[in-house]
Amino acid sequence: MQNFYDYSLTDFKSLTSLHGYKDVHAENFYTSKYKGSEKHIPENFIQYLKTNFNLALPKIQKIQTAEDELTVKFLVELSDGNCVETVLVPFNKKYTICISSQVGCAMKCSFCFTGTQGLKRNLEVHEIVGQYVLAYNYIKENFPEKFAAPNIVFMGQGEPLHNFDNIKRAISIFLEVRGLHLGPRQITLSTAGYLPGLKKIEELNQVNIALSFHSPFNNQRDELIPLNKAYPIEEIVSTLKDIPRLKRQYLTFEYLIIKDMNHSEEHVQEIVKLLSGLPVIFNLIPFNEFPGAKYKRPLDKDVDNFKQRLVDHGFFASVRKTKGDDILAACGQLNTKS
């Protein structure tokens, strides 16, 4: 049976009107599902929906709360028994929901725990949207003071641009004025640099783009992100230069800092050469260790130095505070096989 959370409002209305139901009722139902507001919906329409649509969200199989008592990791079970992880990350007064795009991941980045499990399959639209809805419901119940619609980062398991069509449809559902009505700047899509997806990024309604950068040198980036062998960094950077941006919209470059590996002065100089003219904000992520990891976390002073050198060269840079690493909910620690 078709899942309700697969549908944009336009598609939902076309389908229900084919069966003789009024647009206004379809709209009211759609809004009530996403916004929780009470609307009058005729009984016969409700009966039709119940028999023709699956209205179920994925199941929360396990909830872990970190020591900060605010970062929450959900193990989410899909209808075929596969699981993905969704993480609530506190950010000022609001939450950001970190959403997975695939079961596992094909990218095999050498520093990432998710990569060790390989790719099982793409997530369906309703599984992507469903993670948001269930996490938002949890916030409303447990942290009612943080009820504002959370931001989204596609930084969970998987490579979102590798599941382009479903991510695209999910984004259009997130932006729907009669539904969740998020703004494009509330959504950030992070990619390891999957060029075929970046080339059609304009189809994604100008959401924020983050690149997992990690090194300006191809030989080193090849080791960290094998995908770089197919799509080297200069090609990615030149594609990023051509992407239209909203006013004051920056590109985020995530930079994983690994002890004694990628935070030298040569790295700084090469970064300056490669990125001049691009409006980049650096998001520095000290490497998070996980069982079996071959890299080490850098010293705090090395992270601060590297940040300062980037700032000296006119970049914005901040260090991402690690949240939830005690429950393996931090970046690169998501793994549903362990």
Residue among 131 and 191 whose Cβ is closer to ligand SAH: 191
d(CA 249, CA 281): 10
Q: Determine contact, residues 208/184, Cβ cutoff 8 Å.
A: yes
Residue 287 touches ligand SAH, criterion: CB under 6 A: yes
Residue 191 touches ligand SAH, criterion: CB under 6 A: yes
Positions marked active-site: 85, 331
Instruction: Mark out the alpha helices in 89-181 (DSSP H runs).
Output: 125-142, 164-175
C-beta of 152: minimal distance to ligand SAH in Å? 12
Strand 208-212 and strand 187-191: the pairing is: parallel
Residue among 122 and 191 whose Cβ is closer to ligand SAH: 191
- Tokens at 280, concatenated: 């980049």
Scanning 4-12, 163-171, 180-188, 280-288 for contacts with ligand SAH by CB under 6 A, the matching segment is 280-288
Burial label for 243, CB within 10 Å (0-12, 13-18, 19+), is middle
The CA-atom distances, in angstroms, between 63 and each of 117, 232, 336 are 21, 39, 13
Residue among 172 and 212 whose Cβ is closer to ligand SAH: 212
- Tokens at 161, concatenated: 């641009």
Residue among 179 and 324 whose Cβ is closer to ligand SAH: 324
Q: Which of 96, 122, 151, 288 binds ligand SAH (CB under 6 A)?
A: 288
Residues 6+ apart with CB under 8 A from 8: 169, 172, 173, 176
Residue 111 touches ligand SAH, criterion: CB under 6 A: yes
Scanning 107-115, 173-181, 244-252, 301-309 for contacts with ligand SAH by CB under 6 A, the matching segment is 107-115
Instruction: Give, as ranges, the residues between 117 and 156 that touch ligand SAH (CB under 6 A).
Output: 155
Instruction: Give, as ranges, the residues between 305 and 334 that touch ligand SAH (CB under 6 A).
Output: 331-332
Amino acid identity at 304: D
Question: What is the number of residues in the chain?
Answer: 338
Residue among 176 and 254 whose Cβ is closer to ligand SAH: 254
The CA-atom distances, in angstroms, between 42 and each of 22, 39, 48, 58, 219 are 10, 10, 10, 27, 63
Residue among 129 and 284 whose Cβ is closer to ligand SAH: 284
Residue 212 touches ligand SAH, criterion: CB under 6 A: yes
Residue 112 touches ligand SAH, criterion: CB under 6 A: yes
d(CA 67, CA 201): 37
Q: Determine contact, residues 266/226, Cβ cutoff 8 Å.
A: no
Residue 256 touches ligand SAH, criterion: CB under 6 A: yes
C-beta of 332: minimal distance to ligand SAH in Å? 2
Compute φ and ψ for 86, nearest 5 degrees: -130, 135
Return the DSSP state at 292.
T
Residue among 159 and 176 whose Cβ is closer to ligand SAH: 159
Burial label for 145, CB within 10 Å (0-12, 13-18, 19+), is exposed
Q: Which helix (H) or strand (E) holds 307?
A: helix 300-312
Residue 254 touches ligand SAH, criterion: CB under 6 A: yes
Q: Which of 285, 303, 310, 329 binds ligand SAH (CB under 6 A)?
A: 285
C-beta of 265: minimal distance to ligand SAH in Å? 23
d(CA 22, CA 39): 14
Scanning 125-133, 179-187, 284-292, 308-316 for contacts with ligand SAH by CB under 6 A, the matching segment is 284-292
**What residue is closest to ligand SAH based on CB?**
332
d(CA 332, CA 113): 5
Residue 85 touches ligand SAH, criterion: CB under 6 A: no
Q: Which residues bind ligand SAH (CB under 6 A)?
A: 107, 111-112, 155, 159, 190-192, 212, 254, 256, 285, 287-288, 290, 331-332
